[in-house]
Amino acid sequence: MMRIALFQPDMAGNVGTILRLAACFGAPVDVIEPCGFAFADRALKRAGMDYAAQAKVSRHADWDQFLASVRGRMVLLSTKGDRTVSDVGFRSDDVLLLGSESAGAPDFVHRAVDIVARIPMQQGFRSLNVAIATGIALHEAMRQTGSLPI
Number of domains composing the chain: 1
- Whether residue 93 is predicted with pLDDT greater than 90 in this model: the reply is yes
Q: Is the pLDDT of residue 79 over 90?
A: yes
Residue 11 lies in a domain: yes
Kindly report the CATH number assigned to the domain that includes residue 81: 3.40.1280.10
pTM of the model: 0.94
Nearest to 77 by CA among 103, 106, 99: 99
> Does 132 fall in a domain?
yes
Domain-located, residue 140: yes
Q: Which residue did the predictor score with more confidence, 38 or 96? A: 96
Domain membership of residue 150 (yes or no) is no
Structural domain of 45: 3-145
